[in-house]
Amino acid sequence: MECPTCHSRQLQRNGYRNQVQCYKCKCCGRQFLGSYKQARYSEDVKQLCIRMHLQGMSTRALEKLTGIHHTTILSWIRE
């Protein structure tokens, strides 16, 4: 993990946002999320997609319905 602005590894943990670890760079002061992929959707949305998939909805159908890419949904189901 490094700062996207100055590439420093001098990072300070700065709490959580949407269950994603936030970091603050000690060098330039920039705040950023530990994972951009996970930051996009909440746990509620994720659980709802998994549940709908278990009810027989395909990941492609879920993609059309929610706008979330089917590979993202697939990775949640595989977890």
CA–CA separation, 3 and 26 (whole Å) = 9
For Zn ion, the closer of residues 30 and 53 by Cβ is: 30
Q: Which residues have C-beta within 8 Å of that of residue 4, sequence separation ≥ 6?
A: 30, 32
11 touching Zn ion, by CB under 5 A: no
Q: Pattern of binders to Zn ion over 15-44, x per CB under 5 A? A: ----------x-xx-x--------------
DSSP SS3 for 8: coil
Q: Which chain residues interact with Zn ion by CB under 5 A?
A: 3, 5-6, 8, 25, 27-28, 30
